[in-house]
């Protein structure tokens, strides 16, 4: 896999500045193709846009990953709410599907990949471009299996990266992430991070303990990983022991440990300038914003509804780097202004937990997924067959959203400065910083 070449000097990029007034419009809604067995338990577990924005990848409880191609006219297609409004009917979403008369979902997966066990984590190759098939790959890690690298064009298994325990048995990674260059694949295990060269599949890898000789670092499972996209060469590793360790990617030197979450970490993500780190945890109602330049400085917290679910609830930062969106167990997607940490807007996206949310990398679009495990309420314990569950259109579903925006032209070399200016304008009073 070759590295993607950067644009020529003095080239320009068009970047969308997202607005939340009016609220985003639902363009596509998917729910029918995941309910063929009638159990109602094939819920979504996450969604991620491809780096080039040509498609998005979802993961479901049925151990299957699905790729959905983005239609070329997505920015011009009429929103579902607008279609329903033209009929003069009540604008309840249950009516929208009846008005449109859809027998099938408006988008059907173009490719499916079935794993043998529960999927723990998945990620795209960072330089994926649909026109270069050699880069069209994504990695998955599943229970009791090695890390797999899948071809996103054919669905074939490209290769595997295998780690072994002290008994010479294959051990599964709990988290995976490519470094920004794409030449190394980092995998999180219990008290270990293993690094594979992407060009050398098999069992050869670097192995690093997450505990130093002085017993500093992560003592539990490395549950999430994230890299700084800027030139800081930082790696953040979150753990179920409620701590975050920040490393120098080059030599895996432990720089510092962040503490303050109420539950095990489920996601970490750097700001685009690399100066701030955002983290979320299981059953913890707050996303924490850390200033990594001052190690232990907690700048502010962003509230969300996650206290009654064990699911991973994802968040993401929009392309212009001024707002963050996060799901929640109440079916709402909340948006926050990263300059101030204040609530901006929210939309009701589903009738169950929004566990996946991802902004498009270059367009004013986003994808969300929802779902939760449902248990039978049947009193007949001798009946082995689970009765079918009738779900609404807003349960166990996925949606694509379009935001209002203004387009701004910026130089390629200045693109990161947009994010830097965002945080410079925060002007956080030193008395408000929690240490």
Return d(Cα 121, Cα 59) in angstroms, integer: 9
* Angstrom distances, CA of residue 302 to CA of 181, 193, 374: 31, 29, 29
Cis omega (within 30 of 0) for bond into 137 = no
- The reported pLDDT for the residue numbered 4 is 46
Instruction: Please give the helix or strand (H or E) that residue 4 lies within, else none.
Output: none
- The reported pLDDT for the residue numbered 433 is 28
DSSP 312: -
Structure-block tokens of residue 95: 């009516």
Asked if 277 and 265 touch (Cβ cutoff 8 Å), the reply is no
Nearest CA to 67 out of 367, 289, 285, 341 is that of: 367
Q: What does each of the 435 residues of the chain score in pLDDT, given as a tens digit?
A: 644 454 555 566 778 899 999 999 999 999 888 876 655 678 999 999 999 999 999 999 999 999 999 999 999 888 876 655 555 544 455 555 544 444 578 899 999 999 999 999 999 999 999 999 999 999 999 999 999 999 999 999 999 999 998 888 999 999 999 999 999 999 999 999 999 999 999 999 999 999 988 888 999 999 999 999 777 799 999 999 999 999 999 999 999 999 999 999 999 999 988 999 999 999 999 999 999 988 767 999 999 999 999 999 999 999 999 999 999 999 999 999 999 999 999 999 999 999 999 999 999 999 999 998 877 655 544 555 555 667 888 999 999 999 999 988 766 555 544 444 444 433 333 332 232
- The reported pLDDT for the residue numbered 421 is 45
Helix, strand, coil distribution of the chain in percent, nearest 5: 10, 45, 50
Return d(Cα 319, Cα 406) in angstroms, integer: 12
Please give the full DSSP string across 201-255, using - where no structure is assigned. Answer: -BS--EEEESB-TTS-B--SBEEEEEE-SSTT-EEEEEETTSEEEEEETTTTEEE
Contacts of 371 (CB under 8 A, 6+ apart): 42, 43, 44, 45, 61, 352, 353, 355, 395, 396, 397
- The reported pLDDT for the residue numbered 384 is 55
Asked if 269 and 227 touch (Cβ cutoff 8 Å), the reply is no
Does the pTM exceed 0.75? yes
Asked if 351 and 331 touch (Cβ cutoff 8 Å), the reply is yes
* Angstrom distances, CA of residue 298 to CA of 316, 411, 430: 19, 32, 11
Return d(Cα 433, Cα 83) in angstroms, integer: 47
For 333, the 3-state DSSP assignment is: strand
Q: Does the CA dihedral 220-223-228-233 come out positive or negative?
A: positive
- Number of other CB atoms surrounding residue 248 within 10 Å: 13
- Number of other CB atoms surrounding residue 89 within 10 Å: 12
Return d(Cα 31, Cα 35) in angstroms, integer: 7
């Amino acid at each position: 896999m070759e590295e993607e070449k950067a644009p020529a000097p003095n080239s320009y990029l068009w970047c969308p500045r997202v607005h939340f007034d009016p609220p985003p419009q639902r363009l596509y809604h998917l729910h029918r193709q995941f309910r063929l067995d009638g159990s109602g338990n094939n819920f979504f577990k996450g969604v991620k846009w491809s780096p080039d924005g040509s498609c998005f990848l979802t993961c479901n409880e049925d151990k299957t990953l699905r790729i959905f191609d983005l239609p070329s006219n997505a920015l011009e297609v009429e929103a579902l709410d607008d279609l329903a409004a033209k009929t003069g009917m009540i604008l309840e979403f249950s009516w929208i599907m009846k008005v449109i008369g859809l027998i099938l979902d408006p988008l059907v997966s173009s490719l499916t990949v079935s794993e043998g066990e529960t999927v723990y984590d998945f990620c795209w190759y960072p330089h994926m471009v649909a026109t270069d098939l050699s880069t069209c790959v994504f990695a998955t890690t599943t229970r009791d299996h090695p890390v797999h690298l899948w071809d996103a064009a054919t669905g074939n298994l490209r290769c595997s990266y295998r780690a072994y325990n002290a008994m010479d048995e294959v051990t599964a990674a709990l988290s995976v992430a490519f470094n920004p260059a794409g030449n190394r694949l980092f995998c999180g295990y219990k008290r270990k991070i293993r690094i594979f060269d992407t060009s050398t599949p098999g069992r050869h890898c670097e192995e690093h303990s997450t505990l130093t000789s002085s017993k500093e670092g992560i003592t539990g499972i490395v549950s999430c990983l994230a890299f700084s996209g800027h030139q800081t060469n930082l790696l953040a590793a979150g753990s179920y022991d409620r701590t975050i360790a920040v490393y120098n990617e080059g030599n895996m030197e432990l720089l510092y440990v962040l503490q303050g979450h109420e539950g095990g970490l489920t996601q970490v993500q750097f700001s685009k300038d690399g100066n701030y780190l955002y983290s979320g945890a299981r059953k913890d109602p707050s996303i924490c914003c850390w200033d990594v330049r001052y190690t232990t400085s907690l700048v502010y917290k962003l509230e969300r509804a996650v206290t009654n679910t064990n699911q991973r609830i994802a968040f993401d930062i929009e392309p212009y780097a001024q707002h963050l969106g996060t799901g929640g167990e109440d079916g709402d997607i909340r948006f926050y202004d990263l300059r101030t940490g204040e609530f901006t807007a929210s939309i009701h996206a589903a009738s169950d937990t929004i566990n996946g949310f991802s902004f498009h990398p270059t367009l004013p679009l986003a994808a969300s997924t929802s779902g939760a495990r449902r248990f039978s309420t049947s009193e007949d314990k001798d009946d082995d067959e689970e009765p079918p569950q009738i779900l609404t259109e807003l349960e166990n579903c996925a949606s694509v959203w379009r935001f209002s925006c203004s387009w701004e032209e910026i130089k390629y070399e200045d693109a990161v400065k947009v994010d830097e200016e965002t945080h410079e304008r925060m002007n956080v009073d030193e008395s408000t910083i929690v240490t």
